Amino acid sequence: QVQLVESGGGLVQAGGSLRLSCAASGRTFSSSAMGWFRQAPGKERAFVASISENGGSTYYADSVKARFTISRDNAKNTVYLQMNSLEPDDTAVYYCAARSIGSRGVYTTTRWYDSWGQGTQVTVSS
């Protein structure tokens, strides 16, 4: 497993941008598929984006496609989520997740991930 720490959340106006970072510790980061999920109050945790071990494959939820970009820097053990054109419906706690065992590609459901960060709050005002 890897240990994950998110940062970069905050309050932003609609139409604005934020970049979330997720720093990972442990030796398996470069062989781990990574994902971002979010959870709004009263709702289940939902998939946002995923990136494969080498960054060659990415996948996005329809709701964020063309607005969000997931990327990773294996030399820095960090995965990023660039969020542009933010909308009030993007307000949620954002979680970073890692699949450190048997990763091949991208994963879109929570059950495939074995490590989670503590989350970072993103609030978009209208």
What's the DSSP call for residue 112?
G
Neighbouring residues of 53: CB distance < 8 A, sequence distance ≥ 6: 30, 31, 32, 33, 103, 104
Per-residue pLDDT of the chain (126 residues; tens, 9 = 90+): 789 999 999 999 999 999 999 999 988 899 999 999 999 999 999 999 999 999 999 999 999 999 999 999 999 999 999 999 999 999 999 999 999 888 889 999 999 999 999 999 999 999
Cα(24)–Cα(4) distance, integer angstroms? 5
Cα(7)–Cα(62) distance, integer angstroms? 24
Beta-carbon count within 10 A of 91 CB: 18
Neighbouring residues of 102: CB distance < 8 A, sequence distance ≥ 6: none
Angle of CA points 8, 101, 62, to nearest 5°: 50
